[in-house]
Amino acid sequence: MTERDDRPKILIVDDTKENIDLLLEVFRDDFRVSAATNAERALKLARADHPPDIILLDILMPEMDGYQLCAALKNDETTKGIPVVFVTAVSEVMDATRGFAAGAVDYITKPFHPPMVKARVRLHLDLKSKYDLLESYAFIDALTEVNNRRRFDLVLEEEWNRARRSKRPLSLIYLDVDHFKAFNDTYGHGAGDDCLRRLAAAMAGALHRSGDFIARHGGEEFMILLPYTDPDEALSIAQRLNQIVDGLAIPHVSSPVAAQVTVSMGVVSVDPDARLTTREIVDAADRALYDAKHAGRHRIEQIAI
């Protein structure tokens, strides 16, 4: 097995081989480097499964110049977060205002002073890392440390669009902790917080498939999003989650349902040809959850649409 290469990845975009070779010489020891000589190839590499961490982009190129390519990268959801640094010769006219308006974070000039070029690239990689960390915190529920509602809304939109493109079903579990107000009234809000943390960790640990997603939707409610999952698979996963929660055996003496904490679930499985909005999918899961509560709680109700 080869050792994983965790060095930052740089994409150099330049239509002149000599310029690419010069930058390769500067970065090859400390970075993983790939190159493209035209905009089409650059966009393909930027949209790949393992995209570059930063792009060094020449301004003067045929067909699509650097300004246009930078704007295209920034208008694409999959590539807009990649820092772009323009590369220009001292003899060329650099329109800095236009460059920054297109979305570039910096520009460097030729001839290069290698230590300075490396320092500028490392600075922007460090800034990107800090930004990504802050952005990830914005999508995490502070109490349970699973995804929050904001993140859920974004992922649901992405997965529903993917389901329709791939013609594969999408399932959603809307889960609510039974009689949680009574739990807080009996044991206190600190114990309630501990309960939610334990439930979230146990359920998150039970979702092993790539793409399965859990979020705290608010209060004692959770959403479990299951891409490419038909009704039978969704019901099986819901039953397993129910067993896991029961297995925690968290005492709940104030519950009329059981002597321990239990949950109710509404499960909806959506045909990819259904003309539904994500709001309508959530509403359908909410109706199924209502049915589970109305039928006595600690149960699963499922609908397919």
3-state secondary structure of 302: strand
- Burial class of 179 by CB neighbour count within 10 A (0 to 12, 13 to 18, 19+): buried
Q: In what order do the strands lie in the sheet with 106-110?
A: 32-36, 9-13, 54-58, 84-89, 106-110
Distances (CA, A) of 230 to 160, 225, 302, 305: 14, 12, 12, 11
As a whole number, mean pLDDT of residues 255-265 equals 97
Q: What is the model's pLDDT at position 230?
A: 95
As a whole number, mean pLDDT of residues 27-31 equals 90
Task: Give the angle 257-261-262 at the CA atoms, nearest 5°.
Answer: 60
Q: Which 8-state DSSP code applies to residue 281?
A: H
Q: What is the mean pLDDT of the chain?
A: 91
Q: What percent of the chain has pLDDT over 90?
A: 72
Pairing of strands 221-227, 213-218: antiparallel
**Cα separation, 84 vs 67, whole angstroms:** 10
As a whole number, mean pLDDT of residues 178-188 equals 97
Q: What is the model's pLDDT at position 61?
A: 84
Q: What is the model's pLDDT at position 55?
A: 96
pLDDT exceeds cutoff 90 at 177 = yes
Pairing of strands 170-177, 84-89: unpaired
Q: What is the model's pLDDT at position 304?
A: 86
Q: What is the model's pLDDT at position 1?
A: 42
**Cα separation, 146 vs 60, whole angstroms:** 46
Residues 236, 209: contact at Cβ < 8 Å?
no
pLDDT exceeds cutoff 90 at 152 = yes
pLDDT exceeds cutoff 80 at 5 = no
3-state secondary structure of 267: strand
Tokens of 212: 């399965």
Phi, psi of 128 (to 5 degrees): -65, -40
As a whole number, mean pLDDT of residues 279-299 equals 96
Confidence of residue 91 (pLDDT cuts 50, 70, 90): low
For tokens 């045909």, name the residue: 271
* Type of residue at 239: Q
Pairing of strands 213-218, 170-177: unpaired
pLDDT exceeds cutoff 50 at 154 = yes
As a whole number, mean pLDDT of residues 183-189 equals 96
Tokens of 28: 């090859």
Q: Is the pTM of this model over 0.95?
A: no
Distance between the two ends of the chain, CA-based, in angstroms?
46
Tokens of 44: 């393909």
Q: What is the model's pLDDT at position 134?
A: 81
